[in-house]
Structure 1
Amino acid sequence: MARHMKHHADPTRRALLGSMAAAGGLAALGWPGGARAAAPSRGGHVRYGVRGGSTTDSLDPGTYSHAFVRTMGYAFCNTLVEIDGNNRLQPELLEFWEGSKGAASWVFRLRPGITFHDGKALTADDVIATVQHHVRPGSTSGARALMTAIKGMERLDDLTVRFTLEAGNADFPAIFSDYRMMVMPARDGVADFASGIGTGGYVLKNFEPGVRASLERNPNYWRADRAFFDSVDILAMSDATSRQNALLTGAIDVMDQADLKTVHMLKRKSGIEVASTTGGLHYTYAMNAELAPYDNMDLRLALKYGVDREALLQKVLRGYGSLGNDHPVAPTMAYYAADIEQRAYDPDRARHHLKKAGLDNVSLSLSVTDGLYQGAVDGVTLYREQLAPVGIDLEIARVPTDGFWTDTWMKKPFVAGIWGTRATADMILSAAYESTAAWNESFWREPRFDALLKAARTELDESRRAELYRDMQVMIRDEGAAVIPLFADNVFALSDRIGHPEAMSGAWELDGGRSIERWWIKA
Structure 2
Amino acid sequence: MTTNRILKTGPSRRGFIAGTAAVGAGLMLPAGAFGQTAPKKGGTLRVGLSKGSSSDSMDPATFNNDFMFATGYAVFNTLTEIAPDGTAKPNLAESYEASADAATWTFRLREDADFSDGKKVTAEDVISSIRHHMGEDSKSGIKPLLAQITGIRADGDKVVIFELEGGNADFPFVFNDYHLGIRQSTGDGIDPHSLIGTGGFTIETFEPGVRVELKRRDDYWKKGYAHFDKVEILKVGDVAARMNALMNGEVDVIDRPDYKTIDLLGRNPNVQVVTHDSPVHYIMPMHTDTAPYDDVNVRQALKYGIDREQMVQSVLYGYGSVGNDQPIASTMLYYNDDLEQIAYDPERAKHHLSKAGLSSLDVTLSTADTAFNGAVDTSVLFKESAKAANININVDRQPDDGYFSNVWLKKPFCGSYWGGRPTADLMFTAAYAEGADWNETKWKNERFNVLLLQARPELNHERRAEMYGEMQKIVKEDGGALIPAFGNAVWAMSKNIAMPEQLSEMWGFDSWRFIERWWTA
TM > 0.5 fold call: yes
Aligned match of 1:494: 493
User: Is residue 81–residue 90 contact of structure 2 (8 Å, CA) maintained in 1?
Assistant: yes
Counterpart-to-counterpart distance in 2, 1:67 and 1:52 = 6
Give the direction of change, closer, same or farther, for the CA distance of 1:34–1:17 in structure 2 (3 Å limit): farther
The letter of the residue matching 1:333 is M
Shift of 1:402: 1.1
* 2:320 pairs with 1:321: yes
Q: How many matched pairs?
A: 504
Aligned match of 1:298: 297
User: Is residue 31–residue 37 contact of structure 2 (8 Å, CA) maintained in 1?
Assistant: no
Give the direction of change, closer, same or farther, for the CA distance of 1:16–1:380 in structure 2 (3 Å limit): farther
Counterpart-to-counterpart distance in 2, 1:17 and 1:425 = 19
User: Is residue 78–residue 200 contact of structure 1 (8 Å, CA) maintained in 2?
Assistant: yes
Counterpart-to-counterpart distance in 2, 1:55 and 1:142 = 19
Q: What secondary structure, in the 3-state scheme, does the structure 2 residue paired with 1:434 have? A: coil
Give the direction of change, closer, same or farther, for the CA distance of 1:320–1:272 in structure 2 (3 Å limit): same
Aligned match of 2:399: 400
For normalisation by structure 2, the TM-score amounts to 0.94
* 2:193 pairs with 1:179: no
User: Is residue 113–residue 222 contact of structure 2 (8 Å, CA) maintained in 1?
Assistant: no
Aligned match of 2:3: none
Shift of 1:506: 2.2
Q: What secondary structure, in the 3-state scheme, does the structure 2 residue paired with 1:413 have? A: coil
Q: Which whole-Å deviations, capped at 9, do the CAs of 1:115-146 have from their partners, x for residues lacking one? A: 11122211100111111111111110000011
The letter of the residue matching 1:94 is A
User: Is residue 30–residue 502 contact of structure 2 (8 Å, CA) maintained in 1?
Assistant: no
Counterpart-to-counterpart distance in 2, 1:17 and 1:344 = 41
Counterpart-to-counterpart distance in 2, 1:35 and 1:278 = 21
* 2:329 pairs with 1:330: yes
Q: What secondary structure, in the 3-state scheme, does the structure 2 residue paired with 1:261 have? A: helix
Aligned match of 2:222: 223
Counterpart-to-counterpart distance in 2, 1:443 and 1:507 = 26
Shift of 1:451: 1.0
The letter of the residue matching 2:142 is A
The letter of the residue matching 2:238 is D
Shift of 1:35: 7.3
Counterpart-to-counterpart distance in 1, 2:421 and 2:120 = 30
User: Is residue 51–residue 66 contact of structure 1 (8 Å, CA) maintained in 2?
Assistant: no
Give the direction of change, closer, same or farther, for the CA distance of 1:466–1:139 in structure 2 (3 Å limit): same
Counterpart-to-counterpart distance in 2, 1:30 and 1:82 = 9
Alignment of 1:106-505 (within 5 A): 106-505=105-504
Aligned match of 1:7: none
Q: Which whole-Å deviations, capped at 9, do the CAs of 1:424-462 have from their partners, x for residues lacking one? A: 111111110001211000100122211111111011000
Counterpart-to-counterpart distance in 2, 1:394 and 1:15 = 48
Q: What secondary structure, in the 3-state scheme, does the structure 2 residue paired with 1:246 have? A: helix
Structure 1 unaligned residues grouped into runs of 5+: 1-9, 20-28
Shift of 1:224: 1.6
Q: 1:15 aligns with which of 18, 23, 42?
A: 18
The letter of the residue matching 1:301 is Q
Q: What secondary structure, in the 3-state scheme, does the structure 2 residue paired with 1:213 have? A: strand
Give the direction of change, closer, same or farther, for the CA distance of 1:52–1:17 in structure 2 (3 Å limit): farther
Shift of 1:383: 0.6
Give the direction of change, closer, same or farther, for the CA distance of 1:30–1:350 in structure 2 (3 Å limit): farther
Give the direction of change, closer, same or farther, for the CA distance of 1:425–1:34 in structure 2 (3 Å limit): farther
User: Is residue 213–residue 233 contact of structure 2 (8 Å, CA) maintained in 1?
Assistant: yes
User: Is residue 33–residue 84 contact of structure 1 (8 Å, CA) maintained in 2?
Assistant: no
Counterpart-to-counterpart distance in 1, 2:20 and 2:248 = 45
Q: Which whole-Å deviations, capped at 9, do the CAs of 1:386-419 have from their partners, x for residues lacking one? A: 1111111101111111111111100111010010
Shift of 1:303: 0.6
Counterpart-to-counterpart distance in 2, 1:265 and 1:177 = 35
Counterpart-to-counterpart distance in 1, 2:457 and 2:17 = 13
Aligned match of 1:32: 29
Q: Which whole-Å deviations, capped at 9, do the CAs of 1:73-107 have from their partners, x for residues lacking one? A: 11111110012233222100001111001111111
User: Is residue 32–residue 38 contact of structure 2 (8 Å, CA) maintained in 1?
Assistant: no
Identity of aligned residues (%): 44
Structure 2 unaligned residues grouped into runs of 5+: 1-12
Aligned match of 1:5: none
Q: What secondary structure, in the 3-state scheme, does the structure 1 residue paired with 2:328 have? A: coil
Shift of 1:30: 9.6
Q: What secondary structure, in the 3-state scheme, does the structure 2 residue paired with 1:267 have? A: helix
Counterpart-to-counterpart distance in 2, 1:34 and 1:437 = 40
Shift of 1:509: 2.5
Counterpart-to-counterpart distance in 2, 1:33 and 1:89 = 17
Alignment of 1:96-107 (within 5 A): 96-107=95-106
Aligned match of 1:57: 56
Counterpart-to-counterpart distance in 2, 1:478 and 1:447 = 14
Q: CA RMSD in A?
A: 1.8
Shift of 1:31: 6.0
The letter of the residue matching 1:444 is W
